[in-house]
C-alpha cells in the first residue's frame, strides 16, 4: 500500500555540476526536494519505488548506474545505495534514463538508507489507463510503499522555452500544481494525454502512475515548490 510520495522535477539542471554557473537558480527547488524526501523516510517504507518518464518503459534494480556524461559532466550516480553486487539493469539496459539518474542523484544527496530502492521508467506515451494499472501494481508491491515521482510540467511557458510559447501552458501547469498539492488522484488521472504531449509535459505519465498507486490510500498533499524557470513548469510536492 502506498504510504507516502514525493513529487520532484526531473531536469538534469537540478544537479549543480550540470547547471554549473546557473546552479543557484534551482537552489530552492533542491531544498524542497530534500524536504519531500524527508517525508518519505519518515513514513518508514518497506520499499521505495522511483518513477520517471523515458522513451521506453522498464525496471531497474537498486545500484543501477546513471551518467550525466551526455550533459557534458563526468558524473555517475546509482539508484539508491550500491547493494554490493553488480545490478542487473533490467529491461531497457544497464544505464538509468535521465529522469531516474536525477532520482539517483537526489537519493545520494539525501543519503537514502530508509528502505530498498527499485526504479521504474514509464514510457512517455503510455496511455492514462496503462499508467493507472502500472501504478496500482506498484502500490501493491510491498506492505508499505513510498514513491519518488520525477517529472516536469509544460515546456511551453515562454518564448524561450524548449517548446516555445503556448497559451495553454500556464493553465495546464496551474491545474497540475493544484492536483499535486492536494493529492487529487482523480484530477491527475484525468490529465489529457494529448494536451500534455502538445505541451511537452514529461510529468504526465509518472503523475498518472502515482495516481494509480494512490487510489484508495487516502493521502494528503502539500505543494512545496512551484516555478517555471527556463519556461518549464517545475513542482515539488509531498504526500503522506
Ordered by where they begin, the domains of the chain are 2-239 (3.40.830.10)
**What is the percentage of the chain residues whose pLDDT exceeds 70?**
95
Please tell me the distance from the alpha carbon of residue 50 to that of residue 144, in angstroms, as a whole number.
14
What local confidence, expressed as pLDDT, does residue 84 receive?
A: 64
Q: Is residue 88 pLDDT above 60, yes or no?
A: no
Which residues have a Cβ under 8 Å from the Cβ of 218 and sit 6 or more positions away? Answer: none
| pLDDT tens string 32-76 | 999 999 999 999 999 999 999 999 999 999 999 999 999 999 999
pTM: 0.94
Contact between 232 and 157 (Cβ < 8 Å): yes
| pLDDT tens string 154-180 | 999 999 999 999 999 999 999 999 999
Q: Is residue 144 pLDDT above 70, yes or no?
A: yes
Which residues have a Cβ under 8 Å from the Cβ of 63 and sit 6 or more positions away? Answer: 78, 79, 80, 81, 82, 83, 84, 85, 86, 87
Which residues have a Cβ under 8 Å from the Cβ of 216 and sit 6 or more positions away? Answer: none
- Residue 2 has, within 13 A of its CA and on its CB side, a CA count of 30
> 174: helix, coil or strand?
helix
With bands split at pLDDT 50, 70 and 90, how would you rate the model's confidence at 31? very high
What local confidence, expressed as pLDDT, does residue 26 receive?
A: 93
Average pLDDT of the chain? 94
Tell me which DSSP letter residue 48 carries: E
| Average of per-residue pLDDT across 143-159 | 98
Sign of CA dihedral 179, 238, 149, 109: positive
| Average of per-residue pLDDT across 183-191 | 98
Amino acid at each position: 500500500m502506498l504510504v507516502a510520495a514525493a513529487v520532484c522535477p526531473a531536469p538534469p539542471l537540478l544537479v549543480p555540476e550540470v547547471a554549473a554557473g546557473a546552479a543557484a537558480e534551482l537552489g530552492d527547488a533542491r531544498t524542497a526536494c530534500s524536504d519531500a524526501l524527508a517525508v518519505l523516510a519518515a513514513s518508514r517504507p518497506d520499499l521505495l519505488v522511483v518513477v520517471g518518464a523515458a522513451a521506453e518503459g522498464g525496471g531497474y534494480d537498486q545500484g543501477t548506474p546513471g551518467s550525466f556524461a551526455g550533459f557534458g559532466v563526468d558524473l555517475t550516480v546509482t539508484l539508491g545505495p550500491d547493494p554490493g553486487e553488480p545490478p542487473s539493469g533490467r529491461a531497457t539496459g544497464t544505464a538509468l534514463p535521465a529522469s531516474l539518474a536525477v532520482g539517483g542523484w537526489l537519493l545520494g544527496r539525501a543519503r537514502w538508507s530508509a528502505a530498498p530502492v527499485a526504479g521504474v521508467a514509464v514510457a512517455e506515451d503510455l496511455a492514462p489507463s496503462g499508467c493507472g494499472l502500472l501504478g496500482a501494481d506498484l502500490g501493491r508491491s510491498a506492505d508499505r510503499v513510498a514513491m519518488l515521482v520525477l517529472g516536469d510540467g509544460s515546456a511551453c511557458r515562454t518564448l524561450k522555452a524548449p517548446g516555445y510559447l503556448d497559451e495553454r501552458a500556464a493553465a495546464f501547469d496551474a491545474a497540475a500544481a493544484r492536483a499535486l498539492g492536494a493529492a487529487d488522484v482523480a484530477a491527475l488521472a484525468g490529465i489529457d494525454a494529448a494536451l500534455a504531449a502538445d505541451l511537452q509535459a514529461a510529468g504526465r505519465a509518472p503523475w498518472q502512475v502515482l495516481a494509480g498507486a494512490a487510489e484508495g490510500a487516502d493521502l494528503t498533499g502539500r505543494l512545496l515548490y512551484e516555478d517555471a524557470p527556463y519556461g518549464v513548469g517545475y513542482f515539488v510536492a509531498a504526500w503522506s
